[in-house]
Structure 1
Amino acid sequence: MRQIEPQKLNLKISLLFLLIHCFNDSHCTSLQNSLTFDQKVDNLLPMISPTGNPQPLYPLIAPSPLSPFIITHSTAPKLSGLCTLDFNTTDSMITITAIDCFTVFAPYLANVVCCPQFEATLTILIGQSSQKTKRLSLNSTHASHCLSDFDQILTGQGADNSLQHICSIGPSNLTEASCQVKFVDQFEKTVNTSKILANCGKIDVVNECCQETCLNAISEAAEDLASVSSDVSTRVIEDCKSIVLRWLASKLEPLQAKEVLRGLASCNLNKACPLVLPNVRPVAQGCGDEISNRTTCCRAMGSYVSHLQKQSFLTNLQAMNCAASLGKKLQKENISNDVYDLCHITLQDFSLQANGMQESGCLLPSLPSDATFDRSRVSFLCDLNDHIPATWPSVSHPAPSSCNKTVKIPALPAATSGQKGRYNNDFMFLLVYTITFILGTIP
């Protein structure tokens, strides 16, 4: 993939996101024609969107010009008055969630940033409210009202208005589901609460996913809760884990609880590839016969990867898993040659591209991160440090894992591999969603 100068990349990033939210339709039209993603698709490959529906792949219709200002000048939400939760206990969490799930960014940050924060805030909200209600769940009626109110509050602060759909969260996620324990006093009589607090009161965000100190304590407590019922199935244990997390959130300060919950969520996020991998037959056709024509093969590979680049932002480790998954699919189609090396495919090529020219993919940090709001813009960090080559799966390069020290993982940011280090600030960019009238000054 062609290199691009950092200064030009920064400008193109800014222009692209200005384009998403421009103020004058005439400016939008001309800029869209020159800078937006190419939405053409090959007949052999399906159009992919974050939700899996055949919708446009990038938001070209600008939302309300006032949306960014809502974060600091909130509109008054129309609440039901029937929710038993105290939203005031999680003011800071709600603000962070609104920024993480900000309008057009939400579907593309859903997997890594928005939805983990959305779910964590709900967990903290129920947990904090349990200090008064003495309940670790809501009944179905209250759950519907509370989730609706929560959406209203977030939307009033600039968040996307379809978060329940984007994050696949409904009222049932606020109930006890199949777990039989929902009252605080019953919970504290059933599990070893001291062990939970000792192992989860503060976690080592870098090493928790490998050591699973807190994760094991939560699983053990969930099994204890599940044993109360006659059905100790995997589903019941999973539902009881939600109860454990709410109780834990009730014992910690909201920001501390957020760090724990987001850290635990990242362990699951970085274990797999979140992308939908279309049929690889077009690549197999182009790269068959021991790759008799490199140009044809790489053209087919580039066309395939371009579909992946329209789905979502990924973390470094997610991109590694995606490279491994795609490589295995290609190997099943009898492609034995390393087409990643042949066609210069990097980890960045699997993530949403930072500009319409598809020259630099944005890889988010694999440790929990949030978007930020600074007066006139919503920003998030994008690691453009290296064009790390995608690793072709083999016996010597099995499925990637930051915990397997015998596997040589490419030079990811040091924090990913459990070591302390610094990012190179010269090549760490902010993807900026700016609200100014700069478009009026563009010649």
Structure 2
Amino acid sequence: MGLFQDAKCFKGSLCCQLLFLILWLPSYQDVMAEQKQIASSRISSMVELAKAPTVGLFDPIEISPAVMPQYPYPTEPLSPSYPTFPARYEPILTGKCPVNFSDISNILDKTASDCAGPLAALVENVICCPQFTSLIHIFQGFFSMSSDKLVLSSTVADHCFSDIISILASRGANNTIPTICSIKSSNLTGGSCPVKDLSTFEKIVNTSKLFEACSAVDPLKECCRPICQPAIMDAALQISGREFMINNNKNLGGEVNHMDYLSDCKDVVYSYVSRKLLSDAANTAFRILSSCKVNKVCPLTFKEPSEVINACRNVAAPNPSCCSSLNIYIAGIQRQMLITNKQAIICATLFGSMLHRGGIMTNIYELCDVDLKDFSIQAYGIQAGCLLRSLPEDVVFDNSTGFSFTCDLSDNIVAPWPSSSSITSMSLCAPEMSLPALPTSQTLKNMGSNSRGLDCVVLIFSFLILSASLH
């Protein structure tokens, strides 16, 4: 991860220097923590007397203690990493999947790491499921290399899918990945797509055009000026038989499950692409396409913010009651999952639109120092949220630091307040395709307690996995 390459960014801040020191602590230190409450609320310094919310904004991430290793020194200081890795073991396979899994071992390893046991549910939307989906596409194409078929039969798919999950679990992955990611063995069969063999596919589809579009996907351009995505959709339309009807203005709205039908054909196209590319190249392409998809929507669930609306409807200046209510609400959001910087922009705008519709016209994000990172999971101990970069990210395991990944936008970028209750006009594809500008020392003002000591644009974020339940 290059943990010490960015050491200069920690200078000038006592908190960051302490964090830097903590990361050197021995990996055997205890990872069980006591529940802590924050000493003061995250309210502007103009309202120092505001009552702190009863729910800690930056409580540790909570996971069942059943997954936690037990250490002999329960009173020792905490390490900010999860310094153990489940021992590998030989998986029990069905013996009925005619594939040499060692040929795609590197992709299996990457997937197992990205979907590591207790972390899988926290990073499902941005790391685990995109990688697991890519593995399924790659396996489908890899399996078809020895035949004219681009898909698996239902029976073989069941056996191979079972073996894939067993292998991933034997390498430390969460064995409930199919449930977490809503992927089944039927995803390997091509479902209801009418074209499932190579010869028919190559007769219908302009394969040279498809290969040219998807052989080298540009991570900086694909999401806003797509090339591979429309090529895959065109191929799926062609083999599904829908293209002719669309060109003749036929109405597809009345067809049963036509979107599922098209989705099945897209899986066949993915199989063909992965058949033609090396596994690493296919994985890179598929992950970029996934990042384009996940960064278009907010994955968080927002309950009705009635208490926030009641407390903040008529405020025009920093208000203790309003900020406390808002902070308590956001504390619940922070327990959901890790998200990317672009997702955070959409989530902040979506939530702001809900508040706007409730009658809150004042930008309470600014009044109460609500930043983009406040919409993601909070780091234990350093009181800061972690936003992933919008580009594909992987979980990395290191023998000394545990599971980790790089956080982006750890500076305090104020969450965007919508100009209206609608977000239909919002686009992350401006000509420069940039995120909000990073704040400077001149622009930082009314900083809440959450921002103190965090002046690094990028932090290496090693998660500490703690007790209780996931939401």
Query: What's the TM-score once normalised by structure 2's chain length?
Result: 0.76
- Measure, in 2, the Cα distance between the counterparts of 1:397 and 1:387: 25
Q: How well do the aligned residues superpose, as a CA RMSD in angstroms?
A: 3.4
1:208 maps to 2:260: no
Tell me the matched-pair count: 395
1:373 to 1:186, Cα distance in 2 relative to 1, 3 A: same
Please give the per-residue CA displacement for 1:341-381, whole angstroms capped at 9, x wherever unaligned: 11111000000001257x21000010011112233422211
1:199 to 1:406, Cα distance in 2 relative to 1, 3 A: closer
Q: Is the contact between residue 205 and residue 263 of structure 1 (CA under 8 Å) also seen in structure 2?
A: yes
1:402 maps to 2:428: yes
1:331 maps to 2:356: yes
1:196 maps to 2:198: no
- Secondary structure at 1:301 match in 2: helix
Give the C-alpha shift of residue 62 in structure 1. 5.1
Q: Is the contact between residue 386 and residue 407 of structure 2 (CA under 8 Å) also seen in structure 1?
A: yes
- Secondary structure at 2:122 match in 1: helix
Aligned pairs (5 A) from 1:16-27: none
1:162 maps to 2:187: no
1:34 to 1:341, Cα distance in 2 relative to 1, 3 A: closer
1:174 maps to 2:198: no
Give the C-alpha shift of residue 33 in structure 1. 3.7
1:367 maps to 2:381: no
- Measure, in 2, the Cα distance between the counterparts of 1:292 and 1:350: 23
1:74 to 1:205, Cα distance in 2 relative to 1, 3 A: same
Q: Is the contact between residue 203 and residue 260 of structure 1 (CA under 8 Å) also seen in structure 2?
A: yes
Amino acid at match of 2:34: Q
Q: Is the contact between residue 92 and residue 166 of structure 2 (CA under 8 Å) also seen in structure 1?
A: yes
- Measure, in 1, the Cα distance between the counterparts of 2:359 and 2:464: 47
Give the C-alpha shift of residue 91 in structure 1. 0.8
Give the C-alpha shift of residue 303 in structure 1. 0.7
1:412 to 1:95, Cα distance in 2 relative to 1, 3 A: farther
Please give the per-residue CA displacement for 1:238-260, whole angstroms capped at 9, x wherever unaligned: 22111111110110011100110
Name which of 234, 240, 264 aligns with 2:289: 264
Give the C-alpha shift of residue 407 in structure 1. 8.9
- Between 222-231 and 166-175, report the one with greater CA deviation: 222-231
- Secondary structure at 1:83 match in 2: coil
Query: What's the TM-score once normalised by structure 1's chain length?
Result: 0.80
Give the C-alpha shift of residue 264 in structure 1. 0.5
1:70 to 1:363, Cα distance in 2 relative to 1, 3 A: closer
1:5 maps to 2:19: no
User: Which runs of 5 or more structure 1 residues have no equivalent in the other structure?
Assistant: 37-46, 48-55, 414-423, 436-443
Q: Is the contact between residue 316 and residue 412 of structure 1 (CA under 8 Å) also seen in structure 2?
A: no
Q: Is the contact between residue 91 and residue 167 of structure 2 (CA under 8 Å) also seen in structure 1?
A: yes
- Measure, in 2, the Cα distance between the counterparts of 1:260 and 1:59: 33
Identity value in percent? 36
Please give the per-residue CA displacement for 1:89-120, whole angstroms capped at 9, x wherever unaligned: 31110000111111111111110011100110
Amino acid at match of 1:410: P
Aligned pairs (5 A) from 1:72-111: 74-111=88-125
Aligned pairs (5 A) from 1:232-311: 233-290=258-315, 294-311=319-336
1:191 to 1:354, Cα distance in 2 relative to 1, 3 A: same
- Measure, in 2, the Cα distance between the counterparts of 1:136 and 1:63: 39
User: Which runs of 5 or more structure 2 residues have no equivalent in the other structure?
Assistant: 1-12, 39-54, 71-81, 246-251, 440-453, 466-471
Q: Is the contact between residue 364 and residue 382 of structure 1 (CA under 8 Å) also seen in structure 2?
A: yes
1:385 to 1:293, Cα distance in 2 relative to 1, 3 A: closer
- Measure, in 1, the Cα distance between the counterparts of 2:150 and 2:198: 6
Name which of 114, 121, 124 aligns with 2:138: 124
- Secondary structure at 2:275 match in 1: helix
Amino acid at match of 2:368: C
2:50 matched residue in structure 1: none
Q: Is the contact between residue 153 and residue 189 of structure 2 (CA under 8 Å) also seen in structure 1?
A: yes
1:431 maps to 2:445: no
- Measure, in 1, the Cα distance between the counterparts of 2:180 and 2:215: 30
Please give the per-residue CA displacement for 1:226-282, whole angstroms capped at 9, x wherever unaligned: 107998833322221111111101100111001100001111110010001111111
2:62 matched residue in structure 1: 58
- Measure, in 2, the Cα distance between the counterparts of 1:98 and 1:243: 24
1:434 to 1:332, Cα distance in 2 relative to 1, 3 A: closer
1:344 maps to 2:358: no
- Secondary structure at 1:379 match in 2: strand
Please give the per-residue CA displacement for 1:268-318, whole angstroms capped at 9, x wherever unaligned: 110010001111111111112345871111111101111110011110000
- Measure, in 1, the Cα distance between the counterparts of 2:422 and 2:19: 32
Amino acid at match of 2:177: L
1:80 to 1:412, Cα distance in 2 relative to 1, 3 A: farther
Give the C-alpha shift of residue 432 in structure 1. 2.6
Amino acid at match of 2:436: P
Bigger CA radius of gyration: 2
- Measure, in 1, the Cα distance between the counterparts of 2:112 and 2:282: 18
1:68 to 1:11, Cα distance in 2 relative to 1, 3 A: closer
1:416 matched residue in structure 2: none
Please give the per-residue CA displacement for 1:374-418, whole angstroms capped at 9, x wherever unaligned: 3342221112542111010116996543312399841279xxxxx
- Measure, in 1, the Cα distance between the counterparts of 2:329 and 2:460: 27
Q: Is the contact between residue 137 and residue 243 of structure 1 (CA under 8 Å) also seen in structure 2?
A: yes
Amino acid at match of 2:182: S
Q: Is the contact between residue 141 and residue 150 of structure 2 (CA under 8 Å) also seen in structure 1?
A: yes
Amino acid at match of 2:226: E
Please give the per-residue CA displacement for 1:132-162, whole angstroms capped at 9, x wherever unaligned: 1332222222222212111110111111121
1:32 maps to 2:34: yes
1:148 maps to 2:162: yes
Amino acid at match of 2:394: D
Larger helix fraction of residues = 1
- Secondary structure at 1:32 match in 2: coil
